[in-house]
Chains A and B, each alone.
Chain A
Amino acid sequence: MCLAIPSKILSIKGHTAEIDVGGNTKEVNITLTPEAKVGDYVLLHAGFAIHVMDEQAAEEIFDAWEVAYAALQE
């Protein structure tokens, strides 16, 4: 149920943020992360942002995600 991949916030209107998911945009509820700003990355769960992180933390996740399994499979 948990999506561990962060998504970038493109715009915010009230409790709704538009986020980028692999080039597509999607609306999520940010009631649980009132500190979220445009440009932040958020972790999503059931249509909600549950955690805000900066770009650097998000980059670390992208890196780990892309290569870790491949490395272990060999």
Chain B
Amino acid sequence: MQPYRNKDYAQHLLDRLRQEAVRPLSAMEVCGTHTVAIARSGLRELLPENIRLISGPGCPVCVTDDLDLDIVIALAQQPGIVMATFGDMMRVPGTQSSLLEAKSRGADVRVVYSPTDAVDLAAEHPDKQVVFLAVGFETTIPTIAVAVEQAVQQGLRNFSIFSLHKLVPPVMEALLTDPEVKLDAFINPGHVCTILGTEPFKFIAEKYGKPCVVAGFEAVDIMEALLMILSQYNQGRPAVEIQYKRAVRPEGNPVARAFIDKYFIPVNATWRGIGEVPGSGLALRDEFAHLDAQKRFPITVTPGKRVKNCSCGQVLKGLKLPYECALFGKACTPMKPVGPCMVSTEGSCAAYYRYGAQKVGGTV
């Protein structure tokens, strides 16, 4: 494909979107990688006025509750504990500090690239208790299930996980039933659907009558997905459709789902800024309780105060755009994040800060 053809195609898609957007449509991009793609391409500003794109709760780091994180940080500070985590979690603020600050105070916190690296750490350090901070959506959870399986097979007695997993379909339902949130359609997360396929989202079309289209991560993918959404919306035939066919099959990845089911069961979970959502988390099954850090190292912390003035909750629900937060770009920047949405590279606030700040009235 030649660049000019692509430019023509992008323009063609924009023209079609202008023709099709005959009435207002609010579509939520659930996934943080989409938020970044949209911010980077400037797509939000290019779309016809009738189409409003709102960023959803789709960054696992950003939705980790600050009180949950306080417990993790307290555990990391216990003697003999090695806390292994994905790098993104290091700077996420709890109510009092972050894992990075705990590390600078002497806690043994290590960044791993893959959950299986944490299993290797445990095998290498039999004198330490290695706890893996298990954060992620359905894309990540199977990789953690494989790490758990490795620990079981190796008979490791010094490996456990602190499960703060989150499931996407339940939070989408929570948003649909929240009277504050006004949504007409979803751009479904690409790689969550690589694992889940379309079935777990059918209730959104059938029960709530909202179009759902799984999109890829390029600007043209998102525009194509929006056209598919508009076609459903205009014809009144809500369905779950796949634009991102190269990476998503209707049946998803059944092997990966079997790994999730083998080790985990759904539990209630608290999402930062959203609150408790029934069945939106995962805990290890009872047979694997010895690998469950929450059970193995019970810790209570005095609940701290949640950050005031951080609008992450409203940003994660799509009620506010990041630059509508009073702290955006002032007290809160990627160098000194106040809320988690500014920490993760996939957080809405960080994406807006990096790619969009200049365009929205020079708040920076």
Contact = CB atoms under 8 A, between A and B. Distances in A.
A53 B31 CA distance: 22
B3 A50 contact: no
B88 A68 contact: no
Interface in B88-105: 88
Interface in B235-256: 245-248, 253, 255-256
A39 interface: no
A65 B259 CA distance: 31
Contact of B3 (A29, A32, A46, A70): A70
B255 A72 contact: no
Nearest to B191: A2
Contacts, number: 125
B218 interface: yes
B7 interface: yes
Contacts of A2: 31, 33, 139, 190-191, 217
Given A64-B220, A71-B7, A72-B219, A1 B136 contact: yes
Contact of B88 (A1, A31, A47, A65): A1
Interface stretch (B19-27, B35-43, B270-278): B35-43
Nearest to A5: B217
Contacts of A45: 139-140, 143, 191
Contacts of B334: none
B143 A46 contact: yes
A21 B132 CA distance: 27
B116 interface: yes
B6 A33 contact: no
B331 interface: no
Interface string B24-65: 000000011100000011110010000000000000100000
B249 to A, nearest CB: 8
B1 interface: yes
A50 B189 CA distance: 14
Interface in A19-74: 29, 31-34, 43, 45-48, 50-51, 53, 57-58, 60-61, 63-74
B40 A33 contact: no
A6 B219 CA distance: 18
B146 interface: yes
Nearest to B10: A71
B221 interface: yes
Contacts of B216: 4, 61, 64
Contact of B140 (A46, A60, A70): A46
A72 B190 CA distance: 21
Contacts of A65: 218
Interface string B153-187: 00000000000000000000000000000000000
A69 B40 contact: yes
A35 B44 CA distance: 39
Contacts of B60: 1
A61 B253 contact: no
A2 B88 CA distance: 13
A65 B88 CA distance: 24
B77 interface: no
Contacts of B43: 72
Across the A-B interface, the 8 shortest Cβ-Cβ residue pairs = A47-B114, A71-B7, A57-B246, A67-B6, A4-B217, A63-B1, A68-B218, A48-B143
Given A46-B136, A64-B220, 12 more contacts: A1-B136, A1-B139, A2-B33, A4-B190, A31-B146, A45-B139, A47-B114, A48-B142, A48-B143, A69-B218, A72-B43, A74-B7
